[in-house]
Amino acid sequence: MKGRYGELEIRFGKLGGPGANLTKEFLRKLIYRIIRRSTKYYDEARLAGCEDHVFIYREKQLHSAICPAIADITSWFLIEHPLFRRPAGEAEYPGATDYWIYYKNYSYIMELKHSFFAYTMTS
């Protein structure tokens, strides 16, 4: 995908198994839509005189772009889906995952992680 703000290339490495092609399809659609929504947010914020972007905040604000992007693909998903966690050698305890997503007969559990990176333009 190429646009005004740069290029994106997606490589999946050794993703394999019976659902590999469907998972790649889902992830490509999701990433594309997240980029489209976050770019639209940025463009509209700039028009309003504000240099704002969803990625400059913390992880929680990313839901503003990710949730609608998921909804573009499937209406069957939950945020903060409850589950039980059982780390190796430890007792089970209740928790939640950021997203549970159902897409074409597959269930996906998605956890968000956020880091800050700074890129500078050189002339």
In angstroms, the CA 35 to CA 29 distance is 10
pLDDT tens digits for the chain (123 residues)?
455 666 777 777 888 888 899 999 999 999 999 988 888 888 888 888 888 887 777 777 788 889 999 999 999 999 999 999 898 999 999 999 999 999 999 999 998 877 766 555 565
- Eight-state DSSP code of residue 4: T
pLDDT at site 76 = 95
- Domain definitions of the chain by residue range: 2-110
pLDDT at site 50 = 85
In angstroms, the CA 103 to CA 70 distance is 10
